[in-house]
Chain A
């Protein structure tokens, strides 16, 4: 995203008023378009995060009124910051899910080694409320003999 910098103090000496006005109008238009686009990108990130909730910084309310050029820049910069945070949170979540998938693969490969491990469907990024865990086959006998298996519980007593 290109930053738009207009030094009005310097420009005032060089440009006449109609030209300055055109420049400011163009700057405002560009910032308004950027703000609209950033909001749409932020909305997409929020939807992608669902059902998890993104903790985004609250932006200072200033309206409803026409914002000055400086205020539009602050709004734009605030949204850029929020979008970066949202994308970082989503990337971190993807990393955690990948790790959870790796752990599940290991668990399935060698259940005995992961007896105390529990992985929820939510941690895997899969819908539903089930939990993967290791349980002994045939109860106490299995525990004594070292017969372990991976079990997916439904998590919901009403699930069919």
Chain B
């Protein structure tokens, strides 16, 4: 029986938006917000994060597609764990900080691609036989992010270097991966937060 993703997982979707990164240096305002968010996570709060609605939705989805979220934590749980281990939310560059901010605020993971390397629309589908992503063979049926022409990356993985954002002045394509149980408001908010933090507006 052929499995239709939208019937199997109603609400599973990729939403995307373009923005311009005029300056890839860290932004002080974003840094302050990350510091404020860091104060929300104690050990207990990081553990109890899994019971919140959106993180729980990602955990359930991970299980349903064969990923053990206790071995490969969801993005928001991984971010909480990193915050605990590092003692705070460490800044690296404007784009990474913006994606982290969107993730911590909404629990929805957002990925950044070089817009010139991607031909929208971006969708979630199953890999076909012989498809590659990041130079590696994708087993047929693997869930991937794909554009109009090819596979971009395995679902929930970071984009391949060839499609990663190169630097200042680049037009960026932000992609939010929303699973069943995540509202359109949450995914839209994640994209908005990331886009505003990157463009500095």
Name A residues whose Cβ lies closer than 8 Å to a Cβ of B.
Answer: 20-21, 24-25, 28, 32, 35-36, 38-40, 43-44, 46-47, 50-51, 56, 58-59, 61-67, 71-72, 75, 79
Contacts and interface: CB of A to CB of B under 8 A. Distances in A.
B140 to A, nearest CB: 9
9 contacts: A24-B1, A35-B64, A36-B63, A56-B70, A62-B66, A63-B65, A63-B66, A64-B142, A66-B65
Contacts, number: 90
Given A25-B7, A28-B8, A35-B60, A65 B65 contact: yes
A46 B47 contact: yes
A47 B154 contact: no
Contacts of B67: 61, 63-64
B48 A59 contact: no
Given A43-B59, A61-B71, A79-B63, 20 more contacts: A20-B1, A25-B7, A35-B64, A36-B63, A36-B64, A44-B51, A47-B51, A50-B44, A50-B47, A63-B65, A64-B65, A64-B143, A64-B156, A65-B65, A65-B142, A66-B3, A66-B5, A67-B65, A71-B66, A75-B66
A39 B1 CA distance: 26
A72 B51 CA distance: 22
B154 A64 contact: yes
A79 B48 CA distance: 19
Which of B48, B70, B71 neighbours the largest number of chain A CB atoms within 10 Å of its CB? B70
Interface of B: 1, 3, 5, 7-8, 43-44, 47-48, 50-51, 56, 59-60, 62-72, 126, 139, 141-143, 154-156
A67 B56 contact: no
Contacts of A75: 63-64, 66
B60 A66 contact: no
Nearest to B143: A64
Contact of B8 (A56, A63, A66, A79): A66
Given A35-B64, A40-B60, A50-B47, A66 B141 contact: yes
